[in-house]
Amino acid sequence: MFKEDTLKGQTILITGGGSGLGLSMADKFASLGANIGICGRTEKKLKKATEELKKYGNEVRYYSVDVRDYEKVGEMFKEMIADLGEVTGLVNNAAGNFLSASEDLSPGGFKAIVDIVLHGSFNCTHHFGNHRIKKKDKGNILNIVTTYAEDSGSAFVLPSACSKAGVLAMTRSLAFEWATYGIRVNAIAPGPFPTEGAWTRLLPSKKFEKQYLEKIPAGRYGEHDELANLAAFLMSDMAPYITGECVTIDGGEKLSAGQFNFVDSLMSRGKLKTIFKMLKMKG
């Protein structure tokens, strides 16, 4: 889909890049010529991922940093610039989430998610933006949000819904404010892309999974490569005029609220068409 040098000359930090979608994006960016930094809390995972990512022959470094710590994030950027040169792109991917009835949440549980998702994204964005602005050079920020960040919110994941909505607001606010510095800020709202982190926490049984799959019109989950391709496009020079945008990639899941969509689940499409014909004949 892309030329092998699509991201050549870029150095991109992916938070939470040691596993899941973060690692898939890191892999795609590396395959397209970018130098890569990944950060996270679990050194073992980061180390393994770094070895994997080196297969493309670019520079890859890992940083054992919790994005909740503003000072440590600042030190990481300094270290990464010393290791790899100027950081030209940032993907705020690190997240935390769990299912809970909201009345049973502890303040600590709410805070943990808001700290990782909202404060973590701010911490990285603030340091990254300041470096680019001082350097008088353009940059790219990509925030990974969710389909429930925009309109609906979601039951049972209140801290995540509040935090991701905040990250989306940050995306649009900064897209305008930092356009003057040549810094683009976009978001991707992924629907269901299986990862160990999300699946074990959010889809704990086969029954949950079956119900979930049934509400995706495409009839399947997303593949990591599909999301990584979109991320690469938004981070590349093929999208220089796109900023403040949130691209949903969910096989149509978000559209399930359509008023008459439910009829599709009542019977086969063939039977439905027969009924529609009968209704037409009745006038």
Footprint of ligand HXC (CB under 6 A): 95-98, 100, 106, 108-109, 112-113, 146, 160, 192, 197-198, 201-202
CA distance 71 to 52: 29
Cβ–Cβ < 8 Å for 17, 36: yes
What SS3 state is found at 64?
strand
**Beta carbons within 8 Å of 261's beta carbon, 6+ residues apart:** 255
In the bound state with ligand HXC, the residue whose beta carbon lies nearer, of 66 and 83, is: 66
In the bound state with ligand HXC, the residue whose beta carbon lies nearer, of 147 and 243, is: 147
Tokens of 260: 């008459």
Q: How far is the CB of 222 from ligand HXC (least distance, A)?
A: 10
The 8 Å CB, 24+ separation contacts for 235-239 are 235/7, 235/10, 235/12, 235/29, 235/89, 235/91, 235/140, 235/142, 236/2, 236/6, 236/7, 236/32, 237/6, 238/6, 239/184, 239/186
Q: How far is the CB of 167 from ligand HXC (least distance, A)?
A: 11
In the bound state with ligand HXC, the residue whose beta carbon lies nearer, of 15 and 160, is: 160
Q: How far is the CB of 237 from ligand HXC (least distance, A)?
A: 29
In the bound state with ligand HXC, the residue whose beta carbon lies nearer, of 42 and 173, is: 42
- CA distances from residue 48 to 117, 200, 233 in whole angstroms, order as listed: 24, 21, 26
In the bound state with ligand HXC, the residue whose beta carbon lies nearer, of 36 and 145, is: 145
CA distance 122 to 15: 12
Q: How far is the CB of 126 from ligand HXC (least distance, A)?
A: 21
Alpha carbon 193 to its chain's center:
10
The 8 Å CB, 24+ separation contacts for 170-173 are 170/118, 170/121, 170/122, 170/125, 170/143, 171/141, 171/143, 171/145, 171/244, 171/246, 172/244
Residue with token string 């008459």: 260
In the bound state with ligand HXC, the residue whose beta carbon lies nearer, of 179 and 218, is: 218
Q: How far is the CB of 46 from ligand HXC (least distance, A)?
A: 14
Q: How far is the CB of 39 from ligand HXC (least distance, A)?
A: 14
Q: Nearest-CB residue to ligand HXC? A: 108
**Catalytic site positions:** 148
